[in-house]
Structure 1
């Protein structure tokens, strides 16, 4: 193990639980147990994340073990929001199953989509239209950014990964893989249809123009990480030009890719605008993606062979999402620019969907800052976003926290600089409430009892 990786893992071990606690993710006010002021739930989650970092060749088993340990602890010693014991756990599953099912369908479906796109030969002929030096890699990242502004960031990352696989003859630098994930998350951060978190803000009543502010930071972040990563990739394996003049594009596969994406986009719009009251009861978007896949089986056979390995990575992600959903996150500290900056780092190890939901309920944020922080922050670690997990299924060598931090250091730098530019240009303009958020009067909220603490 290299010195830099050892340092990275040591920092993760030392920082995971305290950061989660210090950022205001307070424990359940009724049944929490804390050791040294840190809730046991967070300690177990931090140990799970540390295990993922240390044993990156067995991440699935580590994540499943962590999920079982956290669930067992809460069943035996504390409680869920839906109740206590096994019944409380079953109630929790009934509340989370739609999110888990949607993620499973999207990750597996988009893996098949990326294979269709790769076999369409579009990535093979692409080098003819890209610069043949480092600027070609940079333009590819810009394309991923643009795709993610109106597609799901998972799809954008996988399409970018498929193109990179062909452009660089399967020799893709880990720093460049981190940049693909960063570009996909940056592209979705300023669009209410580009990321789950921004869609949540839109549904809560935040204006799309407020979310659009995030693009000021996202553009800066793209320039930084894109330039550094493109240089890394060109030194590692430059674009191979020529030799593809005889290859023809398979337009049938291109049409299949388009149909899958159209099904996903239309379903997303319909659910958000017309079926919002049913969105928590059925995985509409995931089912729509698979419906499009099955409809087109007779046109071109999907590469079913990729599903077993994809399923492993997907189950890993769902295990971490499930762990995050069981954390007793009841309130955030008072909203401020510093807190928003910190949430970006927390989102690298903690699911950004519950973080966004809590911020919406709390109010007091500048929503452009929040959209950028929770959207781009997950790019700093490979399992910090769904796009990162999906791309790591395609490139298993990326499943190393140490290597990701070592070669993708520019992502964290880009995040901080982008945030600073947004602060300097627009400034912090918080909005106390969003239209659909109702907070009971302070007098109606009982004071929580003290937390049991073990020193």
Structure 2
């Protein structure tokens, strides 16, 4: 039952996103209320009889996302207890270049590890390097770097893994690295210089610093488990939690991190489920302009269903699409799982207006990266839908 030719579901979802942006201290309550409103409308007013089947279909995605967000919160604590974040500053350059190198490292890590973990590691290190005085603009830079690194790798992001499984050659996805490089350079320099003005890099680690190799081994175990389970099972959360259980025999597991991160994880799941209930059956005809627009859409609309629709439709340039839906979510803190993970570490990131004001470099970096890739290689769509 459309209102002014706009489906009611879209209006309810738009109100939910607006509520999240304005009432950032109540974002969880707003997201859950929005999901309930959309579900009730589809079940009662629209009489959608397939709701239960729909939620069961989303069960695997939800469990994987929940497992990753909570599991990587435990990883972050193990990483912090290893004392590596205290040790790393001695190897970073002085002044703003130290912050820039850190963002580049986050992008590199994300190319072979899930972008959530890369963002969390970057956030933990930044907290130590800047004595926990990290600007929202720099947090946006961390999220952008993690999403940029994953955009060109078929194991670095859920959307690119979906393309790979569907039959898109990894080399086609890898073209996104061209756009990601431009985006990281621009966004990274702007964010690092602004962070240096906000609070400079602290170069003096504690004297006689001793690394805890047990905690570091658990970090490596969790990272390895995520990679192996992602490639072998397409379910990285299984490997993460298997490693966490094994790690409990080496060092005590910081279970308290689960309760700290639960609310943020459920917030993202509520938004993902709300987005999955939108009556979108197909995207506009594939073109460079459509792909460019999808980058902005992915900042507020979960990029997993967008990617699924694009794969079903076919005819896209997969390198351009991988960058668009991968990097585009960085423009708003709740636009990607990496952004939500960072906001669990730094609650000040949940202020959407501050994110947009201080993270202005992210949408500019998106435009520059997309334009560079398009101008260099052009538009080369696959002739048939991916299998």
TM-score under structure 1 length normalisation: 0.84
Q: Which residue of 1 aligns with 2:341?
A: 390
Q: For residues 148 and 214 of structure 2, what CA distance do their matches in structure 1 show?
A: 30
Q: Which residue of 2 aligns with 1:36?
A: 4
- The answer to whether residue 360 in structure 2 is matched with residue 409 in structure 1 is yes
Q: Which residue of 1 aligns with 2:18?
A: 50
Q: For residues 407 and 308 of structure 1, what CA distance do their matches in structure 2 show?
A: 29
Q: For residues 218 and 115 of structure 1, what CA distance do their matches in structure 2 show?
A: 29
Q: Which residue of 2 aligns with 1:275?
A: none
Deviations 1:1-59 (A, max 9, x none): xxxxxxxxxxxxxxxxxxxxxxxxxxxxxxxx211121111000000000001100000
Q: For residues 40 and 261 of structure 1, what CA distance do their matches in structure 2 show?
A: 42
- The answer to whether residue 29 in structure 2 is matched with residue 61 in structure 1 is yes
Q: Which residue of 1 aligns with 2:197?
A: 235
Q: What is the deviation of 1:285?
A: 2.5
Q: For residues 308 and 90 of structure 2, what CA distance do their matches in structure 1 show?
A: 45
Superposition map of 1:415-454 within 5 A: 415-436=366-387
- Given that 2:87 and 2:205 are in contact with CA atoms closer than 8 Å, whether structure 1 keeps it comes out as no
Superposition map of 1:166-181 within 5 A: 166-181=128-143
Q: Which residue of 1 aligns with 2:222?
A: 260
Q: For residues 203 and 287 of structure 1, what CA distance do their matches in structure 2 show?
A: 18
Q: What is the deviation of 1:429?
A: 0.9
TM-score under structure 2 length normalisation: 0.98
Secondary structure at the aligned position of 1:35 is classed as coil
Deviations 1:74-133 (A, max 9, x none): 0012254xxx1xxx3221221111110111111000000011111111110111111121
- Given that 1:67 and 1:323 are in contact with CA atoms closer than 8 Å, whether structure 2 keeps it comes out as yes
Secondary structure at the aligned position of 2:146 is classed as helix
Q: What is the deviation of 1:245?
A: 3.5
- Given that 1:125 and 1:245 are in contact with CA atoms closer than 8 Å, whether structure 2 keeps it comes out as no
Q: What is the deviation of 1:361?
A: 1.1
Q: What is the deviation of 1:432?
A: 2.3
- Aligned with 2:173 (options 200, 204, 211): 211
- Given that 2:89 and 2:205 are in contact with CA atoms closer than 8 Å, whether structure 1 keeps it comes out as no
Q: For residues 59 and 435 of structure 1, what CA distance do their matches in structure 2 show?
A: 37
- Given that 2:320 and 2:370 are in contact with CA atoms closer than 8 Å, whether structure 1 keeps it comes out as yes
- The answer to whether residue 256 in structure 2 is matched with residue 288 in structure 1 is no
Superposition map of 1:343-358 within 5 A: 343-358=294-309
Cα-Cα RMSD: 1.0
Secondary structure at the aligned position of 1:34 is classed as coil
Superposition map of 1:111-150 within 5 A: 111-150=73-112
Superposition map of 1:102-113 within 5 A: 102-113=64-75
Q: For residues 84 and 304 of structure 2, what CA distance do their matches in structure 1 show?
A: 34
- Given that 1:134 and 1:231 are in contact with CA atoms closer than 8 Å, whether structure 2 keeps it comes out as yes
Q: For residues 166 and 400 of structure 1, what CA distance do their matches in structure 2 show?
A: 22
Q: What is the deviation of 1:416?
A: 0.4
Q: For residues 115 and 282 of structure 2, what CA distance do their matches in structure 1 show?
A: 28
- Given that 1:176 and 1:230 are in contact with CA atoms closer than 8 Å, whether structure 2 keeps it comes out as yes
Q: For residues 225 and 163 of structure 2, what CA distance do their matches in structure 1 show?
A: 22
Superposition map of 1:322-337 within 5 A: 322-337=273-288
Secondary structure at the aligned position of 1:382 is classed as coil
- The answer to whether residue 210 in structure 2 is matched with residue 248 in structure 1 is yes
Name structure 1 gaps, 5 residues minimum.
Answer: 1-32, 273-283, 437-455
Name structure 2 gaps, 5 residues minimum.
Answer: none
- Given that 1:210 and 1:368 are in contact with CA atoms closer than 8 Å, whether structure 2 keeps it comes out as yes
Q: For residues 186 and 323 of structure 1, what CA distance do their matches in structure 2 show?
A: 25
Secondary structure at the aligned position of 1:94 is classed as helix
Secondary structure at the aligned position of 2:58 is classed as helix
- Given that 1:380 and 1:412 are in contact with CA atoms closer than 8 Å, whether structure 2 keeps it comes out as yes
Q: What is the deviation of 1:396?
A: 0.3
Secondary structure at the aligned position of 2:2 is classed as strand
